[in-house]
Amino acid sequence: MDGHGRDRPEGLWPVCRSCNGGPVHPLHIAPDLGGPDPTWVCEESGTAVAALGSLADA
């Protein structure tokens, strides 16, 4: 558990399942909410993983 009380990936932003192996890392939205065509982007590789709203299907 870290200093924020998080010890499971469920508490983080959606975990990237696009990358194989490596440390667990989250996705973030780019551009920020409110921008055009927001997309989930892997924080590690910078790869666009899924359009916002379709993450469950990715």
Q: Which of 14, 28, 44, 50 binds Zn ion (CB under 5 A)?
A: 44
Backbone region of residue 25 per phi and psi (left: phi > 0; alpha: psi in -120 to 50; beta: other values): beta
The answer, yes or no, to whether the previous bond of 31 is cis (omega within 30 of 0) is yes
Which among 4-12, 35-43, 50-58 is the span making contact with Zn ion, rule CB under 5 A? 35-43
The closest of 15, 12, 19 to 45, measured between CA atoms, is 19
Distance of closest approach, residue 37 Cβ to Zn ion, in angstroms: 20
Q: Which of 15, 29, 42, 48 binds Zn ion (CB under 5 A)?
A: 42
Residues that bind Zn ion (CB under 5 A): 16, 18-19, 42, 44
